[in-house]
Amino acid sequence: MALEVCVKAAVGAPDLLGDCPFCQRVLLTLELKKVPYKAHHIDTSDKPKWFLEVNPEGKVPVVKFDDKWVPDSDVIVGILEEKYPEPPLTTPPEFASVGSKIFSCFFQFLKSKDPNDGTEQALLEELKALDEHLKKHGGPFIAGEKITAVDLSLAPKLYHLEVALGHFKKWSVPESFPHVHSYMKTLGSLESFQKTKTVPEYVIAGWSPKVNA
């Protein structure tokens, strides 16, 4: 039986997946584990009544396990790993936090109106650390040759970073980080990634209110 999963709908396109990297992370996990699922696209600016009844906090993603709706991508991915252990996607503990600050640094830089406030530098430092990690461990993934949960968490965030900073700031990941570039290319070319990603225009539409706030 297919798992029911609620994900964010695209701004202006209610039947398409929207700009939520945490939703894509869950979908990527389902795809790689070959778990059948049915996605409900939720308009987060006008949440349906049934959705708020089963999930009062109104956050996405949520997945229905054994008649209970469970929020939080970290929790969901953990349950999926327990229930569907093949293929194993658990990240070795020593690699679990690699790249974990990139998304918050990206968001601060994206919102920033002051080029000298250090937000760009903070992001560059995180990307540099990721580049050095990939170089040291040989890649193509964080934990080496096999893809793990940490890659599925980072892949959508790096995609958002690339699209949103390219559009709003005409900024791109420096060529001086070749391992990050090849890592992003490897992730982006995965069949599961292509199948679950939202198109750039909806990434931009989703970030636009936050940039202009």
Active site residue ranges:
20
* CA separation for the pair 39, 15 (Å, rounded): 10
What tokens appear for 140 in the block?
């193509």
Closest listed residue to residue 99, CA positions, set 126, 65, 66: 126
Q: Evaluate whether 65 touches 83 at the Cβ level (below 8 Å).
A: yes
Closest listed residue to residue 140, CA positions, set 125, 155, 128: 155
Q: Compute φ and ψ for 22, nearest 5 degrees.
A: -75, -35
* CA separation for the pair 176, 204 (Å, rounded): 26
What tokens appear for 110 in the block?
């994206």
Residue 144 region by backbone torsions, left for phi larger than 0, else alpha for psi between -120 and 50, else beta: left
CB atoms within 10 A of CB 98: 20
